[in-house]
Amino acid sequence: MRSVVLAEGRKLRRPTLLLSTLATVTALTGLFTSLVFLRINSGQNTRRGASISALQLSQATGLTYGFKLVGVFLGLVALCIFASQTAQEYTYGTLRNLLVRQPSRMKILFGKFISMALFAALMVSFAGVVSIALSYLLSGKAKVNTTKWGSSQALHLLGQTTLNLFIATICYGLLGMILGLFFRSPISAISIGVLWSLILENILGAVISSTMKWLPAANFSNIGEGGSVAASYQHSLFVSALYIFVGGSIAAALFKRRDVAN
């Protein structure tokens, strides 16, 4: 297993992928964190018409406010990376090389997952650092008091948010990996994953609002937010685990049994 993790790590740390991912994460985190601070009291500075004030941001929760907002996008970045890293083995024909050097298909699959999970952890941590640094940087101009941001409560919330975002990102990533194994093409896997998560789920939710509680991407995002009024954190964890378990089992069984004929 260690050998697969190391091998996959070599592919993930290639400069083009690593730097472009970190640049994307920086851009998204910077955008969302900046928007929160730049539009304080504007009445339209957060999602769904909710408003945020300097006083609210001065609380312990203010430290992670921007960080939380970028959660769904970190998930989508992970979905794209996990899907392409999995499906490209088919399109490049490199899967046969991997299986000749490591015949245990489950070791290949789990090793790849562990390596990509480490990559996702780096991505989430990096987003956290960028968001917090930017929050401190913008707090002065926005007249946000940061005294409570250094409290143990704020640090605890930071740890919790990081963990929740990591779990949500991994869920999105696993969805990408499952789609990659099903479709064996990065373009198909990514487009279907992103289309479903960003558009189709929202259309379904708008038409039948009760479905949002049971749709995969909505629950993944809810984990990142630490739960919501519509669905509890535990509910989302359970539903997400169920989706991942069922989808993952089918994809793993296919991967294990399918002939490598390309």
Partner 1 sequence: MNKSAITVSGLSKVYGDRPAISDAHFDVPVGSICGFVGPNGSGKTTTIRMLLGLITPTQGSAMVLGESIKHPEKYLPKVGAMIEGPAFYPALSGAENLRVLADLGGFPISRVPQLLEKVGLAERGKSKYKTYSLGMKQRLGIAAALLPNPELLILDEPTNGLDPSGIQEIRELLRELSKLGTTVFVSSHLLSELEMICDHLVMLRLGKVIFTGLTHELLAAQSPLIVATPEYEVDLTKLVKIVEDSGHSVQVKEGSLHINSAPEWSATLNRLAFDSGITLKSISPIMPTLEETFFEMTEDQK
Distance set, CA 230 to CA 157, 208, 235 (Å): 21, 14, 10
Which residue from 96, 141, 143, 156 is in contact with partner 1, where contact means CB under 8 A? 96
Binding window for partner 1 (CB under 8 A); candidates: 101-109, 125-133, 160-168, 180-188: 101-109
Task: Give the separation between CA 234 and CA 144, rounded to whole angstroms.
Answer: 33
Q: Which residues of 30-53 are buried (b: 16+ CB within 10 A; e: fewer)?
A: bebbbebbeebeeeebbeeeeebe
Residue 17 binds partner 1 (CB under 8 A) = yes
Q: Which amino acid would we find at residue 167?
A: I
Triad 22, 233, 134: Cα angle to 5°: 30
Site track 131-160 with partner 1 (rule: CB under 8 A), x = hit: ------------------------------
Please answer whether residues 217 and 143 qualify as being in contact, where contact means their C-beta atoms are separated by less than 8 angstroms: no
Residue 229 binds partner 1 (CB under 8 A) = no
Binding window for partner 1 (CB under 8 A); candidates: 8-16, 129-137, 147-155, 214-222: 8-16
Would the CA dihedral through 151, 155, 160, 164 be positive or negative? positive
Ordered alpha helix ranges (H), 47-151: 54-57, 65-69, 71-91, 95-101, 105-139
Binding window for partner 1 (CB under 8 A); candidates: 14-22, 28-36, 159-167, 232-240: 14-22
DSSP state of 195: I
Window 21-80: residues binding partner 1 (CB under 8 A): none
Binding window for partner 1 (CB under 8 A); candidates: 43-51, 94-102, 200-208, 231-239: 94-102
Task: Count residues binding partner 1 (CB under 8 A).
Answer: 26
Task: Give the separation between CA 208 and CA 222, rounded to whole angstroms.
Answer: 18
Binding window for partner 1 (CB under 8 A); candidates: 134-142, 208-216, 237-245, 254-262: 254-262
Residue 244 binds partner 1 (CB under 8 A) = no
Site track 159-198 with partner 1 (rule: CB under 8 A), x = hit: ----------------------------------------
Residue 259 binds partner 1 (CB under 8 A) = yes
Which residue from 31, 35, 54, 99 is in contact with partner 1, where contact means CB under 8 A? 99
Which residue from 51, 104, 234, 249 is in contact with partner 1, where contact means CB under 8 A? 104
**Residue 239 backbone phi and psi in degrees, to 5:** -60, -45
Measuring CA to CA, which residue among 221, 220, 222, 228 is closest to residue 244? 220
Expressed in angstroms, the distance from the first to the final Cα of the chain is: 24
Residue 20 binds partner 1 (CB under 8 A) = no
Residue 92 binds partner 1 (CB under 8 A) = yes
What are the residues binding partner 1 (CB under 8 A)?
A: 3-4, 6-7, 10-11, 14, 16-17, 88, 92-94, 96-104, 257, 259-261
